[in-house]
Amino acid sequence: MKLVFATNNPHKLKELQQILGGQIQLLSLADINCNEEIPETKETLEGNAAEKSFFIYNKYGYNCFADDTGLEIEALNGAPGVYSARYAGEEKDAVANMKKVLDQLKEIKNRKARFRTVISLVIDGREEQFEGVVDGDILTAKQGEEGFGYDPIFQPEGCSQSFAEMDAQQKNNISHRGRAVQKLANYLKTLNSDL
């Protein structure tokens, strides 16, 4: 079965292909000659993920899945949420994004936050969504050098390290994306036997 993963991130594609195994052949956007910007105009992770997967399905005719992730901070009423990538501006600067969060939480005791990933899968025009969540706390300063985005300031519940102090395997085992992807993989395995 061929399935497009609507991402331009080769890292994500490789990781997913490993998890999904040989039964499913993942295609990148480059593989289907999609060089255009995929619209992401909705105000929820669910909306954006669905917008991306249906865009590919409707325009290019491939079964497809897309993901969208946000950091949701309780004391900031769920911000930055769907705006996580460009929280401090259009440059999508991770350091500036973290600084903005740390500044906003300076005097605030409630540091509770979660990462949430939504995956939208469209097969033959029918959509299924899969959610992965990891709860944790926002640290008071950056810790660690691994990972990307908000990893240095996020410490998952029950852990004594930030995401940026873990190796990729450790992080994938408990992360929002890892959990959502595992649900997708389980679903595809049940489907694959029918195809």
Give me the residues that bind ligand IMP (CB under 6 A), please: 68-71, 84-85, 115, 147-151, 163, 175, 177
- The conformation of residue 148, written as its DSSP 8-state character, comes to S
Q: How far is the CB of 168 from ligand IMP (least distance, A)?
A: 10
What is the smallest separation between the CB atom of 21 and ligand IMP, expressed in angstroms? 22
| Marked catalytic residue, from 68, 103, 124, 194 | 68
Among 76, 68, 51, residue whose Cα is nearest residue 115: 68
- The CB-nearest residue to ligand IMP is 149
Maximum C-alpha span of the chain:
55
Pairing of strands 2-5, 25-27: parallel
Query: Which phi and psi angles does 5 have, rounded to 5°?
Result: -105, 115
Output 61 or 89, the one with its CB closest to ligand IMP.
Answer: 89
- Where do runs of H (alpha helix) occur along the chain? 10-20, 45-60, 94-104, 168-174, 176-192
Q: Which is nearer to ligand IMP, 107 or 145 (CB)?
A: 145
- Catalytic residue list contains 167: no
The residue among 9 and 186 lying less far from ligand IMP, judged by its C-beta, is 9
Catalytic residues: 68
